[in-house]
A and B are shown apart, each in its own frame.
Chain A
């Protein structure tokens, strides 16, 4: 997995609560058997005025001028500023794949849906939880200042603003280390193969019906 240590970039807004994964990447794009190529269809129904289909060239599609991320000032944004319960709904990992494909490396919100939050870490995308008040403050600054940028430092667990101000954020130590080092989580787990086998042996003695039923 791609490592994440620190990131400095332009901020873009997604200014509504409860953004669901259907909104992040609509279902018709889930038919792909690949992990990549979802970026042009991120927020498809909000971003374009027509109805998008998989495999379509998006460069000639009519753009929704009222969708904030389409504004020129947010071109090249790599930090998404969002509201509460971001990523609710389905477990589709296509959501972080689409955000990543668009060029986002960080999503900042007051809260995330559990499965989405978890999925981000598997893809080198950093979800940062700040308070409602801090996020509202960042939205104010973002709307006020053209070219608004932030630095997100995972090692120090801080979001740095202009003028040296910063907000700290919490993150699990294991997830942090995996992201900092770009570790292959499956490889790590498989290092514990003896412990897994031991567990299975004990379990098979206690609950033998769990094993062997499906052939």
Chain B
């Protein structure tokens, strides 16, 4: 008894029925919907003559392919320049209207990137199962949820039945003890973890992030970490509930108040792994060993400390590793042995479901304040993750800090993280990006992505090349 992991507890609490082969019908508490992975699901419902099982569980918003340009946004859905994108956003509005699903429309307060919006509205609460047709749904695990991405067929399945057929994953625990050094952020922690276990390291597992570093982290920081569990191969990342979680949740729009609050908190506090819980895999890192991280290659596991050099071909052990490195260096236009800080950046992107929350905006603004983006940098996009983040940042004057630094302050959306809208890299351009994937072509055909923290990206914008943000933190800017 009492040897359950957090994942075990969340799984057990949502079992509707089990089959002999272990495949289980799991109940889904919250379903978040966006324009790209839902149209075929709604179409499927229509063809089969089905209705959503429940309405009060679904929440929709457009985020992936909408414009972040103020003038285009002000023109509404009809003003989306690309006709296929316009049809997709309009289709989401039409489907939500038709089926009676709550949607925060493109320019409404509440709209935002699905994984920023859910937690900030309190639509995501501890103990819930949360799904969305987007792999970064792992983000919501920061609140002690069982949250993961699903494909479009499963979007339809959840809409129709409020359930998914799933098989239980294995348990993995990643523990990071100690205190993070100056300039080292949650993004650096998760990139260091991916560097250690690799992009397939978490396949088939639910990862629980544990240890002092995560206990001391804000919920927004925890979201950055859980967000990138998928880049470590795990559909699910999660962090146990504590007072920080409960303080974060309190008072948000969809969170219970009054007489439901106390029993909810009492339950949420049980959402921790038992002391004797057994994990199939344990990984341990030490905070002291983590420096600001930068990816140099075409996979998130191709990551190094900012002070390091790009790996050399001669240091590779197997022919496969050598070929992989050769391909990555050719695509990235880099030489083995080159200092990471020697990489010039053409564009900078500060945003995405990984790093577009108010704390990210503040961290980037702290570097941008009183400085200017280097003339060699063509564009610095700062894209808040939601209407609420945007409003808060503007109330704090952060928009002016960015604009004064020669950076662009945009409207909320996914933007250059996946470049489905007009925000994209040109071929061969290097980008200091706070997003989550540095795959070939991810930010634009031929574009070269370097993943890093918001403060590091802002510092790269100022320097015109990748730079150790700690050099900026020792300077005092009046």
Contacts and interface: CB of A to CB of B under 8 A. Distances in A.
Interface of A: 16-18, 20, 22-23, 26-28, 30-35, 45, 51, 54-55, 84-85, 88-93, 96, 111, 113-115, 118-119, 122-123, 172-175, 185-186, 189-190, 192-193, 195-196, 199-200, 203, 206-215
12 contacts: A18-B299, A22-B441, A31-B36, A91-B137, A114-B169, A122-B153, A173-B19, A173-B20, A173-B23, A185-B157, A203-B27, A213-B122
**What are the 6 A-B residue pairs with the smallest beta carbon separation, nearest first?**
A122-B153, A93-B151, A33-B39, A91-B149, A209-B256, A173-B21
A118 B151 contact: yes
B320 A33 contact: no
A51 B419 CA distance: 14
A72 B36 CA distance: 35
Interface string B204-234: 1000000000000000000000000010011
A158 B84 CA distance: 43
Interface string B153-165: 1101100111101
Given A89-B437, A173-B21, 17 more contacts: A16-B327, A17-B320, A18-B199, A31-B420, A45-B441, A90-B418, A91-B134, A92-B37, A92-B151, A113-B200, A186-B157, A189-B157, A189-B161, A195-B25, A196-B53, A207-B264, A209-B255
A23 B299 contact: no
Contacts of B102: 214-215
Nearest to A96: B151
B445 interface: yes
Contacts of B472: none
A85 B203 contact: yes
A170 to B, nearest CB: 11
A22 B27 CA distance: 30
A172 B24 CA distance: 12
Interface residues of B, number: 84
Nearest to A213: B254
Consensus secondary structure, chain B interface: loop
A214 B57 contact: yes
Given A18-B200, A115-B235, A196 B16 contact: yes
Given A31-B65, A91-B133, A199-B27, A211 B88 contact: no
Interface in B62-108: 64-65, 82, 84-85, 87-88, 91, 102
Contacts of A96: 151
Interface of B: 16-17, 19-23, 25, 27, 29, 36-37, 39-40, 43, 48, 50, 53, 55-59, 64-65, 82, 84-85, 87-88, 91, 102, 122-123, 125, 127-128, 133-135, 137, 148-154, 156-157, 160-163, 165, 167, 169, 199-200, 203-204, 230, 233-235, 254-256, 260, 264, 267, 299, 320, 324, 327, 418-420, 437, 439-442, 445
Contact of A93 (B17, B56, B153, B160): B153
Contact of A212 (B56, B135, B151, B169): B56
Contacts of B234: 114
Contact of B135 (A27, A31, A91, A172): A91
A54 to B, nearest CB: 6
A123 B397 CA distance: 50
Given A22-B442, A174-B19, A203-B27, A30 B151 contact: no
B135 A190 contact: no
Given A115-B150, A173-B21, A23 B441 contact: yes
A205 B301 CA distance: 45
B58 A123 contact: no
Contact of B199 (A85, A122, A175, A185): A85
Given A17-B320, A189-B165, A34 B40 contact: yes
Contact of B123 (A32, A85, A214): A214
Contacts of A186: 48, 50, 156-157, 160-161
A33 B43 contact: yes
A174 B200 contact: no
Given A31-B82, A122-B154, A210 B125 contact: yes
Nearest to A207: B267
Contacts of B149: 90-91, 115
Contacts of A18: 199-200, 299
Contacts of B167: 172
Nearest to B419: A27
Contacts of B87: 31, 33
A88 B235 CA distance: 10
A192 B437 CA distance: 39
B299 A119 contact: no
Contact of A85 (B36, B64, B200, B255): B200
Nearest to A184: B48
A106 B56 CA distance: 39
